[in-house]
Amino acid sequence: MPKEPILRLTGINKRFPGVYALKDISFAVYPGEVHALMGENGAGKSTLIKIISGALNADSGEYYLNEKKTEITGPKDAIEKKISVIYQELNLAKDLSVAENIFLGNLPTKSFGRIDYALLYEKASKILLEFGLNIDPKVTVKHLAVAQQQLVEIAKSIAKDPKIIIMDEPTSALSHNEIEALFGIIRMLKDRGTAIVYVSHKLDEVFAISQKVTVLRDGEFVGTCFINEIDEKKLISMMVGRPLSGTYTKEKSSIGDIIMEVENLSTDYVHDVSFSVKAGEIVGFSGLMGSGRTELCRAIFGLDRRKNGRISICGNELAKNSPEEAVRIGLGLVPENRKDDGIFPQLSVRANMTLVSLRVFSRMGRINPEKEYTSTEKIIESIKIKTPSQKQRIINLSGGNQQKVILARWLIESNRKVLIVDEPTRGIDIGAKAEIYAILNHLAFNGMSIIIMSSEMPEILSIADRIYVMKAGAINGYFNAYEVTQEDLLIAAT
């Protein structure tokens, strides 16, 4: 290991109104090192990254590059100093091509400033090829799947030939193969001496790819360790400040009559799917990424054109392609892409949470503010949403805490018959996952039927009563959750 860190921060402080986001943080990264940054939602990871990359100014503290004291005046300055960052949210110009995105701000030109497209595509192909990415540089970004877009985002930052590259939860939208591709790229960069800061909530990834890990908790520095000197248990207790009280154990609810029936459902993406759900039951859908779970949600909810099949809830037939009616007869959907599909950035945490369930707090058209306040407060506590108050604008919350608010929106309302949740714990820290399972379990206990889509097999196994496995848009396996193993699920998925 080289003796000198390429990047070193000391005594970093950052406050926001009502939040002390970083308290006296020190952090150093060496060339050729993958350094994981971990901590619960709201711990300060993204804030630290934004300070490193010039997107935010620290209130105080010192910044060294190659042990020379430096100041980063803004994102442009960071790029000039060979620091590159891939943010939690995608940052691509969706109407431009892959190649244009990769070289945006640095497009090769011919005479009179015209873009040299031939050279552009050649350069882009070279980068994509070098890192083994099978993506056409000419294709418009919006036509790519989210996972591919994420890889373009990564190619874009590599193209700047950075010495330090920072990745904020880069795998949240990637499937197994793409994660392998990304890890290949990371190893290549590391061997070239690039320093990589890697933010993730996924322990297995951190153990697979990094050499060191730094943990933050509530804006404070907890520690830096070599990865081969700690185990999962120790790391978790560093993050949450206590050993986690075992894994979540499901309380089996009494299961009633069939509430929802789906027969021979087909759309362009889903093929002949049939299943049923009973009252108080939690039915899981497992499968690899891209196996058609989200498409099944869309098909049930009427968001994609139904070509064939019937859906009924409590004997009420659901008309084709009508999300309004789906809601009317008692269906709720928490989509996978929660941020794009429904955050109101300038509204408060409370408004974002209670928006769809105001009826629950109203009598004769008047909202009971006390009731709204207490319900909101209860959820904030139970899933540990980190916010100075209910009145905070949601946009000021950390990524994972925004997720929690949007998820909570659907957990408040009690008069749904069937709730479909698609990847409910994506981006959510390890401590809060169990709380979310507990809430879903509680809803089922009170008679609601829950359908959960998840690519995390341990998650499905710990929460569901029955499990369907999807593959290529169809059901490829069916199990009792109390008897099945992770291996059975994997075999059915592949």
Q: In this complex, which beta carbon is closest to ligand ATP, that of residue 17 or of residue 105? A: 17
Task: Kindly state whether residue 200 participates in binding ligand ATP, applying the rule CB under 6 A.
Answer: no
Instruction: Tell me if 487 sits within 8 A of 286, measured CB to CB.
Output: no
Q: With CB under 6 A as the contact rule, which of the stretches 36-44, 258-266, 294-302, 319-327 interacts with ligand ATP?
A: 36-44
Build a one-symbol-per-residue string for 379-418: x at contacts with ligand ATP by CB under 6 A, - elsewhere.
-------x---------xxxxxx-----------------
The minimum distance between CB 386 and ligand ATP, in angstroms, equals 5
Instruction: Tell me if 25 sits within 8 A of 9, measured CB to CB.
Output: yes
With contacts defined by CB under 6 A, how many residues of the chain interact with ligand ATP? 18
Task: Kindly state whether residue 157 participates in binding ligand ATP, applying the rule CB under 6 A.
Answer: no
CA distance 357 to 359: 5
Segment 362 to 401, residues that bind Mg ion, using CB under 5 A: 398-399
Segment 41 to 70, residues that bind Mg ion, using CB under 5 A: 46
Sequence-ordered alpha helix ranges (H) in 43-109: 45-52, 75-80, 98-102
Residue entry with tokens 């061997």: 191
Task: Kindly state whether residue 43 participates in binding ligand ATP, applying the rule CB under 6 A.
Answer: yes
Q: In this complex, which beta carbon is closest to ligand ATP, that of residue 16 or of residue 275? A: 16
Which contacts (CB < 8 Å, 24+ apart) does range 487-491 have? Answer: 489/286, 489/457, 489/460, 489/461, 490/457
**Distance set, CA 33 to CA 36, 53, 72, 114, 164 (Å):** 10, 18, 22, 40, 10
Q: Kindly tell me which residue out of 42, 284, 287, 302 binds ligand ATP, with binding defined by CB under 6 A.
A: 42
Q: In this complex, which beta carbon is closest to ligand ATP, that of residue 57 or of residue 396? A: 396
Task: Kindly state whether residue 39 participates in binding ligand ATP, applying the rule CB under 6 A.
Answer: yes
CA distance 333 to 137: 35
Task: Kindly state whether residue 235 participates in binding ligand ATP, applying the rule CB under 6 A.
Answer: no
Q: Kindly tell me which residue out of 6, 9, 12, 21 binds ligand ATP, with binding defined by CB under 6 A.
A: 21
Segment 321 to 340, residues that bind Mg ion, using CB under 5 A: none
CA distance 269 to 72: 48
Q: With CB under 6 A as the contact rule, which of the stretches 42-50, 176-184, 244-252, 471-479 interacts with ligand ATP?
A: 42-50
The H or E element spanning position 369 is helix 369-382
Instruction: Tell me if 44 sits within 8 A of 27, measured CB to CB.
Output: no
- 340 by Cβ neighbours in 10 Å (0-12 / 13-18 / 19+) ranks as exposed
* Footprint of Mg ion (CB under 5 A): 46, 398-399
* Footprint of ligand ATP (CB under 6 A): 16, 19, 21, 39, 41-47, 386, 396-401
